[in-house]
Chain A
């Protein structure tokens, strides 16, 4: 099992450009999450999904969009990149929505918007 994979590992964007951060998991997990981590801060939830076709906003969804057409994939779309979106982005998944389930994290995507 590869677990949770993310591509790309690093990307530089110009202001106003768009891009999609890819996230794939091979553990057949229903629940998937996107977080951003700013320097010196914890993880803030952007969007999450409880299954294919179902997504919901987290704490900081503005400027992002997601889709979940399959169980495995949960891409994050940035439409008009802004310097405030410079961050490290983590995708995570978990098998069930219960209080004891830990999350499995991808390696992260470092994004720089100039």
Chain B
């Protein structure tokens, strides 16, 4: 079974509108961390936002927020007021404890976001 599932291969949004990118995860570990990364066409991986499994509040970083629904095991990324520069691949990732206690990250397949002017 996949640890991280991103069901939207591609998303389109109009500039200045909000968009939600879906991410569901699978873990039996009560202690885990969830991340979103952006990968523009230039290829680098850029960290956007983090949510811990014990965090009570949804994480926010500027125009990015994470809609964390623990019972549903979802960690959707919300981008408000989309900009043309937001066009990129977006990856959801999870760090959970493996054998020996290491928190090894697992990545989803990504969602391609295109922002239209």
Contacts and interface: CB of A to CB of B under 8 A. Distances in A.
Given A43-B91, A107-B44, A100 B52 contact: yes
B107 A43 contact: yes
Interface in A24-45: 33, 35, 40-45
B58 to A, nearest CB: 15
Interface in B1-60: 4, 6, 9, 31-33, 35, 43-45, 47, 50, 52-53
A76 interface: no
A99 B45 contact: no
A113 B46 CA distance: 27
A99 B91 contact: no
B44 A50 contact: no
B110 A42 contact: yes
Nearest to B2: A42
A97 B4 contact: no
A99 B97 contact: yes
A99 B104 contact: no
A88 interface: yes
A100 B102 contact: no
A99 B44 contact: no
A69 interface: no
Nearest to B29: A99
A103 interface: yes
Interface in B95-117: 95-97, 101-110
Given A42-B109, A48-B102, 18 more contacts: A33-B105, A35-B107, A41-B110, A42-B4, A42-B107, A58-B104, A88-B43, A97-B101, A99-B31, A99-B52, A99-B96, A99-B103, A101-B95, A102-B47, A102-B50, A103-B47, A105-B45, A108-B44
Name the 4 nearest CB pairs between A and B, nearest first.
A99-B33, A42-B107, A105-B45, A43-B107
